[in-house]
Structure 1
Amino acid sequence: MSDRITASSDEQAPLLKIRDLQVGFQTTEGVVPAVRGVDLTLMPGQTLAIVGESGSGKSTTAHAIINLLPGPGRITGGSIEFDGKELTKYSEKEMEEIRGKLIGFVPQDPMSNLNPVWSIGFQVEETIRANGIATGRKEVRAHAIQVLREAGLADADKRLKQFPHQFSGGMRQRVLIGIGLSSRPKLLIADEPTSALDVTVQRRILDHLETLTRDIGTAVLFITHDLGLAAERAEQLVVMYKGKIVEAGPSKEILQNPIHPYTQRLVAAAPSLASRRIQSATHESATHALSDLDYAPTSVTEGLDLIAAAEQRLEHLPTTKRPDAIVVKDLTKVYKIRGQGRGASGEVIASDKVNFSVEKGTTTALVGESGSGKSTVARMILRLEDPTSGSIMIDGQDVAPLKGKQLLDLRRRMQPVFQDPYGSLDPLRNIGNTIGEPLHTHKVGDRTSRKERVLELLDQVALPQSLITRYPNELSGGQRQRVAIARALALKPDVVILDEAVSALDVLVQAQILKLLADLQAELELTYLFITHDLAVVRVIADNVCVMQKGRIVEAASTDDVFDNPQEQYTKELLNAIPGAGITLGV
């Protein structure tokens, strides 16, 4: 491990001190180590971020602190001292007094951590009562509204009676943040707390966390894959790899001058506003062929051969406008919602006369705040919801009247990758059957060829083939998202709708998946509609950008135009809110 660690003040005792932490998971083949000798020191009011790729042990370390490891997980060695108390010796009942009241926790996956049959208000109020923060009915309700507003839900009082499925992914994440902060804990463990949030809400939430740290001394332990966020918000940074800490120290110093080779790889893979569009292997091959012409050929024949090779490799690259794969005209979606009183109701316009088109073989990104209507547009294009008015054309075909076999054929050519990987994967179906499900549904190939295709897809998304018999609850969030992407690619579709498809991935896997998507697009002429709140990712994957605000598209142009010369104030605010935008990362 790098020895670049700043000394802590001797005058103040650490709030959290972890020494030689060992965590293992019991399997049929013995104990598999997940965390191996981790040392951490967190002072009161300090913010520390743990970064590393999916499966590096970040979340396992966080769960070990509050003794919430999955069933087969066990702390096999080491010490966890919190506020002078040795937590590894605490009983379950004693830990219940610590969890929530003194150590708040914001989990990574909002849908699987909110009960779908209980209203949002009930779940927030239940936490407040359990932690003894408030007792009277009115007092509990008022506190619930307050913490949700602090977490970014301005209309919290109107939404208490709604259920998790009626909230966007970002709104659900805000509910979890509100629950985690409700008792004003001494330590808040935040596992990817803003991965589902757009940059403007993310900034508001993180500003609020900073206020807590400053005013009441709450320390924050971030688990994140966003290096910009870590550099901007955390004083100290810990880099984990294969269950061990490989580098630790001041955040900006590490990210601007990484020492360990693994940290250098992380920093190099991180997308930023300075990035440019990822080039596919086809484009890179052509570029290399052209660069060969910088060298003087030894003969006229060799020179002509070089030119011919370059022309052959460039002939598949786009030179003229291609037909539109997706055309959306005046697309409108109005939801009717129940009001507070008997028989009362109202309307919410989620999509308001949206117009855009996507050329075949290109990528268009829909960006905007959570609740701006991005995902609603995607669901209507996929025919998972019917529009109130307007039209959707896929390859010149109106999708509105399609039913039965025609609709099934459309869905074979158009596949989704949803925002919430756990919610979109069947917990009772193993990974092999999950990825092969589209092949079985559309009767593609026999059992042997399907299995070969599944193994091929696992390789493509950088997952070991041994996962084929595992289940979603045995995978990390990033691994589950890669399974979802593999399933979407199984049928080799023409159009892929990606709803926050890389938001749960660490930067190394994210870079690999984005490169894979670019290569597949060039090879198969895939068309992507990329829905995201991560503008740094938009910079490297999209050809064109549509900025949405309150159900409307307020700006639409090429990616370079939007980033280099934004016209709308709202677009400028989105760009300015990107975490770490002003920090230059080193390599």
Structure 2
Amino acid sequence: MTDTTVQTSASGRPLADPSKPLVQVKDLEVTFKTGTGDVHAVRGVSFDIYPGETVAIVGESGSGKSTTATALIKLLAGNGRISGGKVLVEGKDITGYSERQMASVRGGVIGYVPQDPMSNLNPVWSVGFQVREAIRANGVASGRKDIQAKAIEVLQQAGLADAERRMEQYPHQFSGGMRQRVLIGIGLGADPKLLIADEPTSALDVTVQKVILDHLESLTRELNTALLLITHDLGLAAERASKLIVMHRGRIVESGDSLEILQHPQHPYTKQLIAAAPSLASRRIHSSTGAAVTEGVDAIDMLKLAVKHEDTEAVIEAAPVMVSVKDLRKTYSIRRGGFKSEPLHAVDGISFEIHKGTTLALVGESGSGKSTAARLVLGLEPPTEGEIVVGGQNMAGASAKQLFDLRRRMQVVFQDPYASLDPQRSIGAIIAEPLKVHGVGDRVSRHARVEELLEQVALPTELAHRYPNELSGGQRQRVAIARALALKPEVVVLDEAVSALDVLVQAQILQLLADLQEELGLTYLFITHDLAVVRVVADAVAVMEQGKIVEAGPTDEIFENAQQPYTQRLLDAIPGAGIEFGN
């Protein structure tokens, strides 16, 4: 008599046969209909995903990786269609499935975590309502209490520690990282057999990223859940995926074992990706236009060219202080129900200095207070206590006119190049706006300045007549940088300015920032959670935890000899930190 016992996972779900592919993609073609004709976004893509396997797809923006992922669950944009090939899910071709048939696939068989947490959460519904609706729709739980309990559980699994207390808050009350965790919770809510995660941790700091990825890894082990990661982080792909697929212009150019590909790449495009990826082994980027500069030193002035590495700190100290922050505090009053409230110390007595022509990176986990500190420095919010001096001007005692004039000397580049540009204005109008606001020049001179700025950020001047939706993410971020430079500022605050970009574009933007810093003598305050980027862009680092600076110093010193356990924990959490990539 044969044994018919069915093996089950920890959640009681029958385990799939590990020898049979869960998903088979065969010669997949995806076409988008546009005003200028058909665009073939995916061309002849084939791969298999087995139960419990983690597969990563990497490539630059426009390579077709996200389009391939959304084709697996038929969530393409309205003008897109699967124009060829097959997608077999548990042996059944779903390319001809109706929306009703797809409802049985989405959620329970294939879960999906989209990339943009703000546009994928409804702003008028509470977070708890949206999670409960997903659980109810997937039939994971029934009954009000069970659904509520499951909603809290999946959010806690996704790294939202105080899930029960925050269930009735709205998306705008969450940070970008917290909204991303909500989407991950929704994606995991139905215990899917395959979870497609499109840049699931791009908005998260490294420690929360590690928590999320550890949890996803435990799912693949305990529930036999397969994971398809769409990412531009090669360290993450190397550390978490067993199989790697490299896409370029809609085609797979290389695929196989992750470590084998990343340590011994064969295709020129893969080699290009690896060369562009920042890592802990990287060193400070220098201007590509000037003479070679000593390792670890960025040019403040020509004197630096003659300075040895060990004298870097002394040279930076000798430069004048451009931004000085002393005992800065920002306290918010948080409502706790009824008429009760309690203080939240977002920034709690921090002090730092940024010398002219240098870059200070402010790093820390989500909620550490780094973005709040940046808003205070920019004068977008008033501090509760403390002193901010920019270029000798104390912001606390400044009149409205003095603050207005000070804004000419300080500009900001935001994280999201899609949200920070007005879609209804041309590129030229967007870049010229600060000039008009501050009454600089006439129409002819402003037009000339726009062309000059476009050339400065390595964009063709013809783009002045185009609109943001006609540009790639990297081009939009260059436009945002051009706008920030329009008034010839002395200080530029970069708030997660490269975290939304793929490695090739990121490398171009970081090099551009280094070139502009040397050419114009700019001072940067760089807000980021990506410590690998910090290594290549910053002269000094200040590490924030719960509103306080717990460690600060030159970049090399912090990375090579961190004193605080918190700093060491951040460094240890960087994906792929111990993996040496090939070339």
TM over 0.5, shorter chain: yes
Q: CA deviation at 1:475?
A: 5.6
- 1:488 pairs with 2:462: no
Superposed displacement of residue 200, structure 1: 0.8
Residues 25-44 of structure 1 aligned to structure 2 (within 5 Å):
25-44=32-51
Q: Which of the residues 99, 102, 127 maps onto 1:95?
A: 102
Q: Could you tell me whether the CA contact under 8 Å between 1:56 and 1:242 is conserved in 2? A: yes
Matching residue of 2:391: 395
Label 1:77 to 1:438 Cα distance change in 2 as closer, same or farther (>3 A): farther
Output the CA distance in 2 between the equivalents of 1:193 and 1:472. Answer: 25
Give the direction of change, closer, same or farther, for the CA distance of 1:203–1:311 in structure 2 (3 Å limit).
Answer: closer
The Cα of 1:445 is off from its aligned counterpart by: 4.5
Residue of structure 1 equivalent to 2:408: 412
Residue 221 of structure 1 aligns with an amino acid whose one-letter code is L
Pairing 1:241-390 to 2, within 5 Å after superposition: 241-281=248-288, 284-285=291-292, 321-339=318-336, 341-390=337-386
C-alpha change, 1:237 and 1:173, in structure 2 (3 Å) is same
| Distance in 2 between residues matched to 1:330 and 1:404, nearest whole Å | 23
CA, structure 1 residues 527+179, in 2 after alignment: closer, same or farther (shift >3 Å)? same
Partner of 1:78: 85
CA shift in 2, pair 1:474/1:166, >3 Å: farther
8 Å CA contact retained: 1:46, 1:219: yes
Counterpart of 1:169 in structure 2 is 176
Is the alpha carbon distance of 1:21 and 1:522 closer, same or farther for their aligned partners in structure 2, counting shifts above 3 Å?
same
Alignment partner, residue 504 of structure 1: 500
TM-superposed deviation, 1:311: 8.1
Deviation at 1:10, TM superposition (A): 11
Tell me the amino acid that sits aligned with residue 224 of structure 1. Answer: T
- CA gap of 1:188–1:395, structure 2 versus 1, over 3 A, is same
Percent identity, aligned pairs only, is: 66
The 3-state SS of whatever aligns with 1:497 is: strand
Q: Matched residue of 1:197: which SS?
A: coil
How many Å separate the matches in 2 of 1:99 and 1:462? 43
What is residue 105 of structure 1 aligned with on the other side? 112
For residues 525 and 252 of structure 1, do their structure 2 counterparts lie closer, same or farther at Cα, with a shift above 3 Å needed?
same
Q: How far has the Cα of 1:550 moved from its partner? A: 0.7
Letter in 2 for 1:413: R
Which whole-Å deviations, capped at 9, do the CAs of 1:54-78 have from their partners, x for residues lacking one? 1111112112222222232232222
Amino acid at match of 1:189: I
Aligned equivalents of 2:325 and 2:450: distance in 1? 33
Equivalent residue in structure 2 for 1:529, among 511, 525, 531:
525
1:37-91 Cα shifts (integer Å, max 9, x gaps): 2112111111111111111111121122222222322322222222222222111
1:527 shift after superposition: 0.7
Superposition deviation, residue 232 in structure 1: 0.3
- What count of residue pairs does the alignment treat as equivalent? 556
**How many Å apart are 1:348 and its aligned residue?**
1.5
Report deviation, 1:453. 4.8
Q: Find the residue that maps to 1:496 and give its secondary structure.
A: strand
- Once residues 452 and 314 of structure 1 are traced to their aligned partners in structure 2, the CA distance between those partners, rounded to angstroms, is 37
**Equivalent position amino acid for 2:333 in 1:** K
Equivalent position SS for 1:355? strand
What letter is aligned with 2:283?
R
Work out the CA distance in 1 between the residues paired with 2:454 and 2:131.
39
Matched, 1:219 2:215: no
- The answer on whether the counterparts of 2:18 and 2:51 sit within 8 Å (CA) in structure 1 is no
The whole-number CA distance in structure 2 between the counterparts of 1:398 and 1:94 is 64
Confirm or deny: 8 A CA contact 1:169 1:419 kept in the other structure: no
Whether the 8 Å contact between 1:485 and 1:501 is mirrored in structure 2 is: no
Letter in 1 for 2:367: G
Pair 1:143 & 2:150 matched: yes
Counterparts of 2:494 and 2:567, CA distance in 1: 21
2:561 pairs with one of 565, 581, 584: 565
Aligned partners of 1:271 and 1:540 also within 8 Å: yes
What secondary structure is seen at the aligned counterpart in 2 of 1:328?
strand
Post-superposition Cα deviations, 1:365-415, rounded to whole Å, max 9, x if no partner, equal 011111111111111111222211112111111223445443332222211
Opposite residue 322 of structure 2, the aligned amino acid is A
Distance 1:384 1:270, change over 3 A: same
Question: CA shift at 1:110, angstroms?
Answer: 1.4
- Residue 50, structure 1, aligned to residue 57, structure 2: yes
Deviation at 1:447, TM superposition (A): 4.8
Cα deviation for residue 326 of structure 1 reads 1.0
- Counterpart secondary structure, 1:512: helix
**Range with bigger deviation, 442-451 or 10-19:** 442-451
Contact kept, 8 Å, 1:111 with 1:420, in 2: the verdict is no
| CA distance in structure 1 between the partners assigned to 2:116 and 2:481 by the alignment | 17
Distance 1:37 1:221, change over 3 A: same
Unaligned runs of 5+ in 1: 1-8, 289-309
How far apart, CA to CA, are the structure 2 residues paired with 1:463 and 1:81? Answer: 43
Q: Output the CA distance in 1 between the equivalents of 2:104 and 2:392.
A: 61
Tell me how far apart the structure 2 counterparts of residues 33 and 445 of structure 1 sit (CA, whole Å): 45
Contact 1:109 1:420 in 2 (8 A): no
Structure 2 contact 317–355 (Cα < 8 Å) conserved: no
Paired position in structure 2 for 1:291: none
Provide the secondary structure at the position in 2 that maps to 1:272.
Answer: coil
Taking a change above 3 Å as real, the CA distance of residues 269 and 381 of structure 1, as seen in their structure-2 partners, is: same
The Cα of 1:202 is off from its aligned counterpart by 0.7
1:93 positional shift: 2.6
Alignment check: 8 A CA contact 1:112 1:422 kept: no
TM-score (norm 2): 0.89
1:577 matched to which residue of 2?
573
Residue 296 (structure 1) aligns with: none
2:247 & 2:340 partners in 1: Cα distance?
A: 53
Structure 2 residue matching 1:556: 3-state secondary structure = strand
Residue in 1 that maps onto 2:514 = 518
The offset of 1:586, in angstroms, is 0.5
Query: Compared with structure 1, are the counterparts of its residues 46 and 52 closer, same or farther at alpha carbon in structure 2 (3 Å cutoff)?
Result: same
Moved more, 82-91 or 242-251: 82-91
CA contact (8 A) 1:111 1:423 kept: no
Q: CA RMSD in A?
A: 2.6
Cα deviation code 1:492-542 (max 9, x no counterpart): 321111111111111111111111101100111111111111111111100
Once the 2 structures are TM-superposed, how far is the Cα of residue 431 of structure 1 from its aligned partner?
Answer: 4.3
Deviates more, 1:83-92 or 1:440-449: 440-449
Q: Hey, what's the Cα distance between the residues in 1 that align with 2:393 and 2:23?
A: 60
Any stretches of 5+ residues in structure 2 without a counterpart? 1-15, 296-301
Secondary structure, in 3 states, of the residue corresponding to 1:393? strand
Offset of 1:430 from its aligned partner?
4.6
Aligned to 1:421, which of 414, 417, 424? 417
Deviates more, 1:446-455 or 1:496-505: 446-455
Aligned to 1:556: 552
Among candidates 11, 26, 31, match of residue 19 of structure 1: 26
- Cα offset, 1:230, TM superposition: 0.4
The answer on whether the counterparts of 1:368 and 1:549 sit within 8 Å (CA) in structure 2 is yes
Aligned counterpart, 2:8: none
Asked if the contact 1:478/1:504 (under 8 Å) is kept, the reply is no
- Alpha-carbon distance in 1 for matches of 2:423, 2:26: 35
Counterpart AA for 2:363: V
Deviation at 1:468, TM superposition (A): 5.4
Q: Residue 316 of structure 2 contacts residue 358 of structure 2 at CA under 8 Å; is this kept in 1? A: no
Pick aligned residue for 1:437 from 420, 433, 438 = 433
CA distance in 1, matches of 2:397, 2:488: 24
